Structure 1
Amino acid sequence: KTWKRRGDVLVGRSRTNFGSAIKLSRSGEVVAVAAPQDGSVGVNSGLVKLFYWNGTEWNDLGAIYGSFDSDYAGSAIDLDASGLKVAVGSPGRGVVDIFEWQGGTRWVSQRSFSVDVANVGIENRPV
């Protein structure tokens, strides 16, 4: 067997560390790609982009953005087998948020877990 690329290369903005964390659903039809140094919301707030494979190309399933400067959202991520729930680690706040896909490009926060950031450095990722 050989590896074959599916669709076009997924490209993020430069200097965002896009692709530093990647997770696939069990079927391989949903992919979550992190860019923890994205600055769309604030300096190094971070984001996770999600895509769905429709059989011929990757379609945008939306994005989950960090809330504050230095959140580094997406420093660690996990995706459930179905690809409909994603855990997003934001070590700058010491939080792991669980999001569920609600259709279109809408991801809704279902639950948040926090850790004592005084005892966790940025290298100790909470997911």
Structure 2
Amino acid sequence: MKNTIYSILAITGCVIIGKLTAYLIGGLPSSLYGLICFTLLLHFKILSADRIKLSIEWAIKNMSVCFVPAGVGIIEHFELIQKHGLAIVFIIFISTFILLTIVGLLFERTMDKQNNVHITNRSTLS
């Protein structure tokens, strides 16, 4: 029970921080700022991942409930899906491909810079 309360307080705190950040800075949705905050707190071990683990596993198991309204919305607009379905699928595949390509290239560039810095630091130490 203590871990559940800990999880609820941690997630609530991140949601509040996300809302404040979105209000002060703007630019991104507050939920995204909250997720970034939650990730950073876990990464830097400010929050205990072991204490949050069971609550997160429960949320993932029950996540399908969140997607039922989206499925109902698709069925309500079935004519549009029939009419523009191939275009929607094409756009999804192309945008996903572009996104993965950009992320991959940025990752490679970042890793190359880190490797060059690491090699430069080694050569200056020798």
State the TM-score, normalized to the length of structure 1: 0.19
Greater percentage in helix: 2
Find the structure with the greater CA-based Rg.
Answer: 2
Query: What's the TM-score once normalised by structure 2's chain length?
Result: 0.19
